[in-house]
Chain A
């Protein structure tokens, strides 16, 4: 019995949804970042699954590789912003960052 394509896609859907809910509910900025990582990884799993079962070939894997690199860059910048936020507000609660609130 072989594993079907839809099984991988279902796992990716679960990861994606968990990431969205994580981004929506966490009030800690680092927690929101973890939600973003989960979403990106769900998309990556889709890329690789279609690369294996479809006719994307290497293309899907290269796209996933670029996503990994860009996610690393995004994590570095977001972490720097979170540290600055912490230095200015003395908290990591993103609900406190409402200076631009009209």
Chain B
């Protein structure tokens, strides 16, 4: 079942991304972006990150892309809906893209990940003693929302409860969480300030 689902989602994600590049109309590009990001959420679910997949669907597909579509609606007027680059630019971009993809794919596929499984999975705490794991299940079992939530609050039950470490606990993500939330607030206030409707000052006031 998993390979079939992976094939479907991976083809949809790659095809959507290719269609974003190849289509000329901005509205169609937004549609293909929804397809690509949505199937990427499916890949996240397949990888056992169910909270992240839900966040991807809610924030990206439901928020960011809608924001982009608002931008398209507010700026697309007549000839600017489809602007084309010169053919030379396309040729250059295609060359660079194929070279980049070749490099990346060569690098990814060349490494024998199976042989290096020990290195990748190193001192994995999944393999440690799991008798006292209790309700805090690990990534492999696919229930990660609880662990992600507690990690964002600064405690790592997923890491500390599954091993018999007795020293001080692992660090969580409380400080980055606070920083990123304040950052989000500042950015949204700034965006509202930047995009506000300006009252046009009259150049030649009536005497």
B106 to chain A, nearest CB (A): 10
Residues of B within 8 A of A25 (CB): 21, 85, 89-90, 93
16 contacts between A and B (CB under 8 A): A2-B2, A13-B108, A17-B100, A20-B100, A21-B21, A37-B65, A51-B47, A54-B121, A68-B60, A72-B60, A74-B187, A75-B67, A76-B191, A77-B191, A79-B191, A92-B76
Which A-B residue pairs are the 5 nearest by beta carbons?
A18-B17, A80-B194, A80-B195, A13-B104, A21-B97
4 extra interface residue pairs, beta carbon distance < 8 Å, beyond A17-B97, A27-B84, A28-B83 = A24-B97, A31-B26, A54-B120, A66-B180
What residue of chain B has the Cβ atom nearest to residue A79's Cβ?
A: B71
Q: How many chain A residues touch the partner (CB < 8 A)?
A: 74
- C-alpha gap A20/B99 in the complex (Å): 12
Determine if A70 and B180 form an interchain contact, defined as CB atoms under 8 angstroms apart: yes
Known interface pairs A10-B109, A57-B138. Does A75 touch B124 (Cβ–Cβ under 8 Å)? no
Determine if B94 and A73 form an interchain contact, defined as CB atoms under 8 angstroms apart: no
Determine if A75 and B74 form an interchain contact, defined as CB atoms under 8 angstroms apart: no
SS class of chain A's interface: helix, strand, loop or mixed? helix
Query: Which bucket holds chain B's interface residue count?
Result: 35 or more
Residues of A within 8 A of B158 (CB): 57-58
Residues of B within 8 A of A16 (CB): 100, 104
Determine if B113 and A71 form an interchain contact, defined as CB atoms under 8 angstroms apart: no
SS class of chain B's interface: helix, strand, loop or mixed? helix
Interface residues of B (CB under 8 A from A): 2-3, 6, 10, 13-14, 17-18, 20-21, 26, 29-30, 33, 36-37, 40, 43-44, 46-49, 51-52, 55-56, 59-60, 63-65, 67-68, 70-72, 74-76, 80, 83-85, 89-90, 92-94, 96-97, 100-101, 104-105, 108-109, 111, 113-114, 120-126, 138-140, 144, 147-148, 151-152, 156, 158-159, 173, 176, 180, 183-184, 187-188, 190-192, 194-195, 198
A58, A66, A79: which contacts B67 (Cβ < 8 A)? A79
Residues of A within 8 A of B152 (CB): 62, 65
A13 to chain B, nearest CB (A): 4
What residue of chain B has the Cβ atom nearest to residue A59's Cβ?
A: B151
Residues of B within 8 A of A80 (CB): 190-192, 194-195
What residue of chain B has the Cβ atom nearest to residue A83's Cβ?
A: B195
A75 to chain B, nearest CB (A): 5
For A79-102 the 0/1 string (1 means CB < 8 A from B) is 111111011000111000000000
Residues of B within 8 A of A18 (CB): 14, 17-18, 20-21, 97
- C-alpha gap A22/B36 in the complex (Å): 14
Known interface pairs A14-B14, A15-B36, A24-B93. Does A53 touch B108 (Cβ–Cβ under 8 Å)? no
Known interface pairs A21-B93, A79-B195, A83-B74. Does A33 touch B68 (Cβ–Cβ under 8 Å)? yes
Residues of B within 8 A of A9 (CB): 108
Residues of B within 8 A of A71 (CB): 60, 64
